[in-house]
Structure 1
């Protein structure tokens, strides 16, 4: 996955908030492939949605993926 430059810090924050690389990998597996081909602004918005959910304790990755799909 190659994320645009302005997206990388948000992705790092999501990874840090999840605390484990296994959880992060599971989250990535749940996200739709099309998410990774979005424009920079759309992808950043999606990652901000993910970050918001994760910071507030959401760990149901299918639910997170659904929220992202709805935001695309």
Structure 2
């Protein structure tokens, strides 16, 4: 019984974690972004893929990245 319950809890956690990550989208804040130091950063194309590892398993994300150059 405990093993089945544990598996279902992990599935529920993965679903909740995936939904939470989905709320943030790609993080795209427009063509430019002002950094903490006041410099204007440009959005670098294309979206960058990264893997996020959680206790519920890996999630592959596509994120907007900002910088001075690629």
The TM tier, using the shorter chain, reads under 0.3
Higher helix fraction: Structure 1 or Structure 2?
A: 1
Question: What TM-score, normalized by structure 1, do the two folds share?
Answer: 0.25
Structure ID, larger Rg: 2
- Higher RCO, 1 or 2 (CA under 8 Å, sep at least 6)? 1
Question: What TM-score, normalized by structure 2, do the two folds share?
Answer: 0.25
